[in-house]
Amino acid sequence: MTTRRNFLKMGVSAGALVASGRIWAQAGSRSDVVSSTAVWDEVPRILARIKPHKFPPREFDITKYGAKGDNQTDNTEAFQVTIAACTKAGGGRVVVPRGEFITGAIELKSNVNLHISEGATLRFTRDTSKYPLVFTRWEGTECMNYSPFIYAFEQENLAITGKGTIDGNADQDHWWNWRATRAPGSSTGKDQPSDRQKLVEMATQGIPPKQRIFGPGHYLRPQFIQPYRSKNILIEGVRLLNSPMWQVTPCLCTNVTVRDLYIDASGPNTDGCDPESCSDVLIENCFFNTGDDCIAIKSGRNDDGRRVNVASQNIVIQGCHMKNGHGGVTIGSEISGGVHNVYARNCQMDSPILYMALRIKNNAARGGLIEKIYMRDVTVGQVAQAPIGIDYYYEEGEKGGHTPIVRDVAVDNLKSQKSKYGVYLRGFKNDPIQGIALTNCEFNGVADGNVVENVNDVSLHNVRINGTEVQRLTS
């Protein structure tokens, strides 16, 4: 691989066609096309298709079905009975009133709006027996595992609303410690990495998903909220705290609205919102303070992602505020089904431990097609690495026989105040990143220049690094 030192010696100008494939920027290229404001004309059409369901004006108060908000009583059965009554009546609101309600897994049914009232806390038990085996997707691979805390399977017209709090009750001694690796030779302790590898191997061997059984005796942490193969979903207004793992993770869903959430969890892999293989998704006006990516758009991992083969597409992100996390708006890494048509705008990001504002991660084991990724009007206080990053060397890197493709990425009017690098772009030598357009961008307080390896077709218009306009991207 060409080193950064070699790149510094090359001195490539805009408009030049470079034999190494590192930079190619010229008038009329793909990057000029994707930088056009015309691409944003698609957003109103996407938003017109995203319409939350209107629920019947019926309410079902869980306390009338035996629930007690004393932070002691197990209300798992009361939730089941209340949801069943709401469903039988034709739908409505299942209301959690003021109080602190302990429960195990909640399974939502069609036409049910789970409403967490202001002053209410829905707190999930640490008793793992309260999370039955369900069909789920764990880090992009389908299996049978502990139920997500709030789960729905093949349902429609679903909502979680209100101004109350949903507390996953996870901490360093509960759920989060499952991520640890068991010491060699030890028969005790938690060991998620071994189970993770076992699950991936099962998918590679073609074992059917329903025979990939985990749950008791294993350590794959469940997700917080996961509607699966469902449609017409609204998640709005609530506070999410202390998730065991990924937080809002609609999978294989259509018509999804995630709005006005306050998300705070510092544990490992506590991504904020991860739509997987979803279409027509709106994420707006949310606050993220997470232990991993704030938003991460995904579509399945490796062989299993290619087997299901459903892309995430037509996703609009707007008005969000990102603090701690790995990426603000992230694409990947479980991305084998591909991602198309992502629009992120009017967001604010600022934290010394937020890695990147726009982060795209892929490798030769995933191999998905990522294209038409657009970001504009984003303000970045500081990030730890770079405001914009595209990396083919995430985890497995070049180990794998599947070509990762990233093309047509356009960023307009992004302004950052502090970072290690301006941009961090690493493609493969025989598989370069294709089509990057940066317009009206300012990268201030950049400590170490850029990292640019194997990128074709770059367009720069009014781009400044540390106050100096640049006509080319160099390492």
Distances (CA, A) of 211 to 203, 222, 244, 271, 302: 10, 18, 24, 27, 18
pTM of the model: 0.92
For 340, the 3-state DSSP assignment is strand
Are 433 and 403 contacting, i.e. CB atoms less than 8 angstroms apart? no
Q: How far, rounded to the nearest angstrom, does the alpha carbon of residue 269 sit from its chain's CA centroid?
A: 10
Rounded Cα gap, residues 180 and 267, in angstroms: 12
pLDDT digits (tens, 9 = 90+) for 415-433: 999 999 999 999 999 999 9
Per-domain residue ranges of the chain: 1-34+420-475, 39-174+192-404
For 2, the 3-state DSSP assignment is coil
Rounded Cα gap, residues 440 and 474, in angstroms: 18
Residue 4's pLDDT band (boundaries 50, 70, 90)?
very low
Residue 87's pLDDT band (boundaries 50, 70, 90)?
very high
Which pLDDT score, from 0 to 100, does residue 181 have?
A: 72
Which pLDDT score, from 0 to 100, does residue 186 have?
A: 61
pLDDT digits (tens, 9 = 90+) for 140-150: 999 999 999 99
Is the predicted pLDDT of residue 31 greater than 70, yes or no? no
- DSSP code per residue over 156-210: EEEEEEESSEEE---BTTBBGGGGSPPPTT-SSS--HHHHHHHHHHHHHTT--GG
- DSSP code per residue over 73-111: EE-HHHHHHHHHHHHHTT-EEEEE-SEEEEES-EE--TT
Q: At residue 72, what is the residue type?
A: Q
103, exposed or middle or buried, with CB in 10 Å at 0-12, 13-18, 19+?
Answer: buried
Which pLDDT score, from 0 to 100, does residue 22 have?
A: 34
Which pLDDT score, from 0 to 100, does residue 38 have?
A: 85
In CATH terms, 39-174+192-404 corresponds, of 3.30.470.30, 2.40.430.10, 2.160.20.10, 2.60.40.790, to 2.160.20.10
Question: Could you say which DSSP state residue 443 is in?
Answer: E
pLDDT digits (tens, 9 = 90+) for 249-289: 999 999 999 999 999 999 999 999 999 999 999 999 999 99
Residue 190's pLDDT band (boundaries 50, 70, 90)?
confident
- Give the mean pLDDT of the chain: 92
Is the predicted pLDDT of residue 318 greater than 70, yes or no? yes
Residue 475's pLDDT band (boundaries 50, 70, 90)?
confident
254 - beta bridge partners? 231, 279
Q: Please give the share of the chain, as a percent, with pLDDT higher than 90.
A: 89
Which pLDDT score, from 0 to 100, does residue 192 have?
A: 94
Rounded Cα gap, residues 134 and 144, in angstroms: 5
For 302, the 3-state DSSP assignment is helix
Q: Which two tokens stand for residue 306?
A: 């290619």
Are 130 and 105 contacting, i.e. CB atoms less than 8 angstroms apart? yes
Is the predicted pLDDT of residue 6 greater than 70, yes or no? no
Which pLDDT score, from 0 to 100, does residue 182 have?
A: 67
Which pLDDT score, from 0 to 100, does residue 204 have?
A: 97
pLDDT digits (tens, 9 = 90+) for 382-416: 999 999 999 999 999 999 999 999 999 999 999 99
Of the candidate ranges 37-41, 195-199, 231-235, the one whose mean pLDDT is the lowest: 37-41
